[in-house]
Amino acid sequence: MRWGVLQFPGSCDERDALHACSLLGEARLVWHEDRDLAGIDAVVVPGGFSYGDYLRAGAIARFSPAMEAVAGFAAAGGPVLGICNGFQVLCEAGLLPGALLLNESMRFTCRQLDLIPADPGADGPKSADIARFSAHRPRLSIPAKHGEGRYWAPDDALDALEERGQVAYRYAPGQNPNGSARDIAGVRNEAGNVVGLMPHPEHAVDPLTGSTDGLRVFEAIAEARP
Amino acid sequence: MAAVRARVLIRPKEGILDPQGKAVEGALPALGFEGIGHVRVGRMVELEVEDPERLGELCEKLLANPLIEDYEIERLDGGG
């Protein structure tokens, strides 16, 4: 498995993402001006503040040559994982539905929290079932750190996401750090090969930092390979 | 072609929680400003454009995120 981790001016989590990927295969950085994804099996769009988050988080990164290449890669079924700022970039690029808004608290949040993976299809819980569902579900302990992580989409779009199993991760009940609609922490596209989430699995891959649950997020995206 | 000056006003869509607007609204009474409500905080972009016909497209693609924001285009130096 060969991973490519994008690097924009202002990225700050690409090294941890590179380390996480290297635990599961080979990994290299892809500079934002580079369109060459040859030999790469999966792409990670990492966290940080690409292009200073000017205008809106992710708004400018979306037009970078590397992101144009990623759009083609994703359209061809290639697995793409967007983390935090990477999630914002994928939403701005239209590769994922919805948008990430300023945290309800207006404060930057930084904390370890529990995520509930929601598998696609019949296993994907509706928001009404989430408490019951989460009681039987292993949780992933992963840190979140962001100022603009409030997932938002119109209500009918949220209904459709739940209907189609496109909610990929939820904050465990009571742990929503930012006011995200329906406790949504991450979503996937309809085909399932593009996933974005606000919390940082790449910071939870070594016992030294308290949890290795983040690796399961990377493993899940690796499985999306066609 | 002469450039046209324009101003684009961008604000969160009605119905979307605007915590900045709420915070500003919450701070006003402490300063003695009463009777102020529905504060919304947005962005303003001034620019010069050679082909003003393309301003709408520019807003849709970059300056605003149409899912979450409304925008208005004002042309500052006349013209149709």
Q: Does residue B79 carry a pLDDT above 70? A: no
Closest approach of A222 to chain B, Cα-based (Å): 30
Using beta carbons and an 8 Å cutoff, which residues of B are at the interface with A? 12, 16-17, 19-20, 23, 43, 62-63, 65, 67-68
Note the pLDDT of residue A126.
56
Query: Cβ distance A86 to A44 under 8 Å?
Result: yes
Average pLDDT over residues B48-77: 94
Cα separations (Å) of A35 from A12, A125, A188?
Answer: 20, 38, 23
State the pTM of this model: 0.91
Question: Which DSSP string corresponds to A37-64?
Answer: -TT-SEEEE--B-GGGG-SSTTTTGGGS
Neighbours of B11 (CB within 10 A): 18
Query: What does the alpha-carbon distance between residue A22 and residue A2 come to, in Å, rounded to a whole number?
Result: 9
Q: Which of A56, A106, A152 is facing B20, going by the closest CB pair?
A: A106
In this prediction, residue B80 has a pLDDT band, given cuts at 50, 70 and 90, of very low
Q: What's the whole-number mean pLDDT along residues B47-76?
A: 95
Low-confidence spans in chain A with pLDDT less than 70: 119-137, 225-226
Mean pLDDT, chain B, as a whole number?
A: 92
What is the Cα–Cα distance from A45 to A7, expressed in whole angstroms? Answer: 8
Q: Considering only alpha carbons, which residue of chain B is nearest residue A57?
A: B65
Question: Would you state the structure tokens that stand for residue A143, as one six-digit string?
Answer: 């840190």
How do residues B18-33 score in pLDDT, each as one tens digit?
999 999 999 999 999 9
Residue A161 token pair: 């996401």
Distance CA A171, CA A118 (A): 11
**Block residue for tokens 């001016």:** A9
